[in-house]
Amino acid sequence: MGLNIQEIRSDFPVLAEKVYGKPLVYFDNAATTQKPVSVIQAEADVYNHYNSNVHRGVHHLSNVCTQAFEDVRKKVASFIHAASSDEIIFTKGTTDSVNLLAGSLGDTLFSVGDEVILSEMEHHSNIVPWQLLQKRKGIEIKVIPVTDEGELDLDAFEKLFSAKTKLVSVTHISNVLGTINPIEKIIETAHKHGVPVVIDGAQAVHHLPIDVQKLDCDFYVFSGHKMYGPTGVGVLYGKRKWLEIMEPYQGGGEMIDKVSFSGTTFNDIPYKFEAGTPNFAGVIALGAAIDYLQEKGLSKLWEYEHSLFEYAVEKLKTVPNIHFIGKAKARTSVISFLIGTAHPFDVGTLLDKLGFALRTGHHCAQPLMDRFGIPGTVRASFAFYNTKEEIDRLVQALGQIEGMLG
Ligand code: PMP
């Protein structure tokens, strides 16, 4: 059975909003996705019915809340096919997960002069934490270049390895270009050199079926809010063999075994990495987001989103003076473009007045903007609740705007 898009749209209350009296067209899904009622309700249910701190109490509410929280750990593990739910660490989001890795793995793996390989298309959250490690420990950062098409140059990647390479950390899908990187090949190459790999799955986990065991990645990180879940919650998957040897990232309650002033011992994984009260309401709502995606079927959602993407590329080509950034062969439903010499901010502001929510700017990927010699792009990113009619409206609006700014 195909998807009933109107029914799906009615699951997302915000889509009925008007902006300046015009129906909202939400094309900023790569920044954050909207939330279905079931996710909003799951979080409200925690506060309405069983809010209580997890792992701490002997009382009924705490047990209910702990159970719901831990059930989501299992749900996430099965969603990404982790070998065990102990390998799932709850964080605040992708940024927090990468910081945890740069902090903890940074201490465990790196000495002065050791190297990490990143790519030119990384989000700042997969660059700056490593630069902080560079400052702390004197490590080197090497960068996989991006081709004119917006793909990673894999021949150049092979040549970046040295005896000092300790880690590769790359994005699965670019938040700017939509490029789906060949992470299977990247992981295989890195492992040939005995180097572990971190995959930033912030733009991928809600689009593609992820099997971390098949991929054989060492770490996979993502954010709840980009996969129709709440803000302030994310995931770090790590292979047990790494998590067990990594030092804790933050200290505090929950992450300990025994504390005394003569010395402290730490809890087992995953708790060793979850200091303090977690965002349990957010985690529980993330579980509802996974249920929603699985109920609809990731592959059906992908198929529909891809049809929107292909439709949009064809239609947008008719806008005079449009220039696309990124033409990778394998892409998700993200399109970055410029109109003539107009600044992306001006295009975005005019679109806003017409009810469109699109992202403009550098998208937290300034090195990629430098690579293409541009200050930023206008980015349309589609989700399964978008429609071809909305794309037609965008094309028409851009035609108008091009006439004004042209
Ligand atoms: N990586 C990528 C590829 C992203 O698109 C984003 C969000 N734009 C992040 C990391 C950071 O995610 P968060 O802000 O949720 O931590």
Same domain, 192 and 330: no
Full residue range of the structural domain in which residue 330 is found: 5-30+297-405
Query: What's the gap in Å between 225 CA and the centre of ligand 1?
Result: 10
Residue 403: per-residue pLDDT: 85
| 208 in a structural domain | yes
User: How long a stretch of residues is the chain?
Assistant: 406
Residue nearest to atom 8 of ligand 1 (CA): 31
Same domain, 186 and 92: yes
Strand, helix or coil for residue 257: strand
d(CA 268, CA 376): 44
| 107 in a structural domain | yes
Query: What's the gap in Å between 100 CA and the centre of ligand 1?
Result: 15
**Strands 377-381 vs 263-266: parallel, antiparallel or unpaired:** unpaired
**Atom number, ligand 1, closest to the C-alpha of residue 363:** 8
| 198 in a structural domain | yes
| 357 in a structural domain | yes
Residue 58: per-residue pLDDT: 86
Distances in Å between the alpha carbon of 123 and those of 221, 245, 364? 13, 27, 6
Same domain, 272 and 313: no
Same domain, 278 and 359: no
Nearest partner of 333 among 315, 359, 309, 357, judged by Cα: 309
Of all helices (H) and strands (E), which one includes residue 258? Answer: strand 256-260
User: pTM to 2 decimals?
Assistant: 0.97
CA 239, 240, 242, 248 torsion: positive or negative?
A: positive
Q: Residue 260 is part of a domain; what is its CATH number?
A: 3.40.640.10
Query: What's the gap in Å between 171 CA and the centre of ligand 1?
Result: 10
Ligand 1, CB cutoff 6 Å, lining residues: 93-95, 123, 125, 171, 175, 200, 202-203, 223, 225, 364
pLDDT in single tens digits along all 406 residues of the chain? 689 999 999 999 999 999 999 999 999 999 999 999 999 999 999 999 999 999 877 899 999 999 999 999 999 999 999 999 999 999 999 999 999 999 999 999 999 999 999 999 999 999 999 999 999 999 999 999 999 999 999 999 999 999 999 999 999 999 999 999 999 999 999 999 999 999 999 999 999 999 999 999 999 999 999 999 999 999 999 999 999 999 999 999 888 899 999 999 999 999 999 999 999 999 999 999 999 999 999 999 999 999 999 999 999 999 999 999 999 999 999 999 999 999 999 999 999 999 999 999 999 999 999 999 999 999 999 999 999 999 999 999 999 998 888 6
Residue 1: per-residue pLDDT: 64
**Atom number, ligand 1, closest to the C-alpha of residue 226:** 15
Measure CA of the first residue to CA of the last residue in the chain; give whole Å. Answer: 45
Query: What's the gap in Å between 122 CA and the centre of ligand 1?
Result: 9
Domain boundary among 294, 317, 352: 294
| 12 in a structural domain | yes
CB atoms within 10 A of CB 406: 11
DSSP code at position 173: B
Q: Are 339 and 401 in contact (CB under 8 A)?
A: yes
Rg (CA), the chain: 22
Domain boundary among 294, 319, 342: 294
Same domain, 197 and 95: yes
Same domain, 290 and 301: no
Choosing from 5, 156, 364, 369, the catalytic residue is: 364
The answer to whether 364 is a known catalytic residue is yes
Same domain, 188 and 241: yes
**DSSP string covering 95-144, please?**
HHHHHHHHHHHHHHH--TT-EEEEETT--GGGTHHHHHHHHHH--EEEEE
Same domain, 268 and 383: no
| 35 in a structural domain | no
Same domain, 166 and 122: yes
Q: Are 5 and 304 in contact (CB under 8 A)?
A: yes
Cα 121–123–129 angle (5° rounding)?
120
Note whether ipTM > 0.85 here. yes
**Atom number, ligand 1, closest to the C-alpha of residue 175:** 5
Query: What's the gap in Å between 363 CA and the centre of ligand 1?
Result: 9
**In the chain, how long is the greatest CA-to-CA distance?**
73
Q: In the chain, how many domains are there?
A: 2
Query: What's the gap in Å between 125 CA and the centre of ligand 1?
Result: 7
CB atoms within 10 A of CB 327: 14
**Atom number, ligand 1, closest to the C-alpha of residue 93:** 16
What is the amino acid identity at position 326? G
Out of 99, 226, 368, mutate this one to test ligand 1's pocket (max ligand atoms within 8 Å of CB): namely 226
Residue 126: per-residue pLDDT: 98
Domain boundary among 270, 294, 318: 294
| 182 in a structural domain | yes
**DSSP string covering 286-355, please?**
HHHHHHHHHHH-HHHHHHHHHHHHHHHHHHHTTSTTEEEE---SSB-SEEEEEETT--HHHHHHHHHHTT
DSSP code at position 46: I
Residue nearest to atom 4 of ligand 1 (CA): 202
Helix, strand, coil share (%) of the chain residues, nearest 5: 45, 20, 35
DSSP code at position 194: T
Query: What's the gap in Å between 99 CA and the centre of ligand 1?
Result: 12
The residues, any chain, with a CB within 8 Å of residue 267's CB and separated by 6 or more, are 254, 255, 256, 257
Same domain, 253 and 336: no
Q: Residue 394 is part of a domain; what is its CATH number?
A: 3.90.1150.10
Same domain, 9 and 113: no
Residue nearest to atom 6 of ligand 1 (CA): 202
Out of 207, 219, 364, 368, mutate this one to test ligand 1's pocket (max ligand atoms within 8 Å of CB): namely 364
Residue nearest to atom 7 of ligand 1 (CA): 31
Same domain, 11 and 132: no
**Atom number, ligand 1, closest to the C-alpha of residue 223:** 15
The residues, any chain, with a CB within 8 Å of residue 142's CB and separated by 6 or more, are 115, 116, 117, 118, 160, 165
